[in-house]
Structure 1
Amino acid sequence: MARYTGPKSRIARKFREPIFGPDKALERKNYPPGMHGPNKRRGKQSEYSVQLQEKQKVKYTYGVLERQFENLFHRASAAQGITGENLLKLLEARLDNVVYRLGIAPTRSGARQLVGHKHITVNGEVVNIASYTVKPGDVVAVREKSKSLEAISTSVAGRRVNKYSWFEWDAANLTGKLINYPNRDEIPENIKENLIVELYSK
């Protein structure tokens, strides 16, 4: 399956959550898309359907493909601790997500583009792999030649100070350091990771 590039509002309405950010279409039509609109009678979802939908929501939220997601889950289950929380920590540690959390890009897809176009460095080295795992102590920065890019300067200008406590941010040099992986209650996304664990446990 290729990465989704279709209408984001349709996906947000499918899950009834603004998973790609504020969405006026979702605010106007807070019901699933389809020709019958809000009047369509929808049967009760099976347990499997609920679990699968939660997994799909997480994949869309973080922009992860199926095989990547499976690999992350296996890494999470092999690590010490709670599998669901480990999974979310691994997703949060992806380079594209870190760039987004730091405010260098306004969206995860925008962050993925910056990484792919070699505008981002990790510990001084250019890294163009969006799925690269950032570790505590790593310093993520905007490449010197890229600091004047309008997309980056506009995003950073709208950045909230110390929005995420697990980062140190240097506004003058456009660098951010991952202090530690976030605790579960610090991750703002509305995700029921236990449903995903149950899905893979079948």
Structure 2
Amino acid sequence: MARYTGPRTKIARKFGEPIFGSDTSFEKKNYPPGQHGLNRRRKKVSEYGVQLKEKQKVKALYGMLEKQFRRTFEAAERAGGVTGEVLLQLLESRLDNVVYRMGIAPTRAAARQLVSHRHITVDGEVVNIPSYSLKPGQIVAVREKSKALEVIQNALGSTQRSRFSWIEWDASSMSGKFMQKPERAEIPENINEQLIVELYSK
């Protein structure tokens, strides 16, 4: 199965919330896609259906396929601690997500493309693996010859991106330090991670 590259609004409508951020198209049609979209709301969803929908939402949000997501969940289980919170910390520690959080790219999909196309370095070395898991203290930067790229300049020029306490950003060098894995309260997305834990525990 290939990664979904279609309209993001369609995915947001499927989950009933603008999971990719502000979306005027979603505001106009905030009901499920398809000719029976408005009627689908009245259908009662089972407990399993609610759990599955939450997992699919998180997969769409972070741009992951099932096999990769399950591996991440299994790693969270092995790590100890509260599995759901550890899962979100692992997802937030991915290189493509941190590039997005730093404001280098406007979306996670764009961040993934920048990483894959070798525009990003970690501790001075080019890393082209979007799922690369960062460790506290590592430095993520825009490669020197990529600093003039329009997509990067536009993203960094946006005043709407909020900064995060677990990331230290230096605008002059276009680099940032991954300080630590974020606490649950520092992850702004509307995610009920316990539903995912319950789904995989069946």
TM-score class normalised by the smaller sequence: over 0.9
Query: Are 1:85 and 2:85 matched, yes or no?
Result: yes
**For the residues of structure 2 that align with 1:33 and 1:147, how far apart are their CA atoms?**
39
Aligned residue runs from structure 1 range 30-45, under 5 A: 30-40=30-40, 42-45=42-45
Unaligned runs of 5+ in 1: none
**For the residues of structure 2 that align with 1:63 and 1:161, how far apart are their CA atoms?**
20
What corresponds to 1:183 in structure 2?
A: 183
Higher mean alpha-carbon deviation, 39-48 vs 103-112, is at 39-48
Q: Percent identity?
A: 65
Q: Deviations over 1:104-131 (max 9, x none)?
A: 0000000001001000000000000000
Unaligned runs of 5+ in 2: none
Cα deviation for residue 39 of structure 1 reads: 3.9
What corresponds to 1:169 in structure 2?
A: 169
Query: Are 1:62 and 2:62 matched, yes or no?
Result: yes
**For the residues of structure 2 that align with 1:151 and 1:12, how far apart are their CA atoms?**
23
Cα deviation for residue 157 of structure 1 reads: 1.1
Amino acid in structure 2 at the alignment position of 1:158: S
Amino acid in structure 2 at the alignment position of 1:69: F
Cα deviation for residue 152 of structure 1 reads: 0.5
What corresponds to 2:107 in structure 1?
A: 107
What corresponds to 1:29 in structure 2?
A: 29
Contact preservation (8 Å) 1:15, 1:32:
yes
Question: How many aligned residue pairs are there?
Answer: 202
Contact preservation (8 Å) 2:94, 2:130:
yes
Q: Deviations over 1:60-113 (max 9, x none)?
A: 000011111000000000012100000000000000000000000000000001
**For the residues of structure 2 that align with 1:64 and 1:155, how far apart are their CA atoms?**
23
What corresponds to 2:149 in structure 1?
A: 149
2:197 partner SS = helix
Contact preservation (8 Å) 1:8, 1:20:
yes
Contact preservation (8 Å) 2:116, 2:130:
yes
Amino acid in structure 1 at the alignment position of 2:168: E
Cα deviation for residue 36 of structure 1 reads: 2.6
Cα deviation for residue 37 of structure 1 reads: 3.7
Amino acid in structure 2 at the alignment position of 1:169: W
The TM-score, its normalising length taken from structure 1, stands at 0.96
After superposition, the Cα gap between the structure-2 partners of 1:68 and 1:127, relative to the gap in structure 1 and judged at 3 Å, is same
The TM-score, its normalising length taken from structure 2, stands at 0.96
Cα deviation for residue 177 of structure 1 reads: 0.3
Contact preservation (8 Å) 2:95, 2:133:
yes
1:121 partner SS = strand
Query: Are 1:140 and 2:166 matched, yes or no?
Result: no
Query: Are 1:123 and 2:123 matched, yes or no?
Result: yes
1:42 partner SS = coil
**For the residues of structure 2 that align with 1:77 and 1:46, how far apart are their CA atoms?**
25
Contact preservation (8 Å) 2:32, 2:40:
no
2:169 partner SS = strand
**For the residues of structure 2 that align with 1:67 and 1:141, how far apart are their CA atoms?**
29
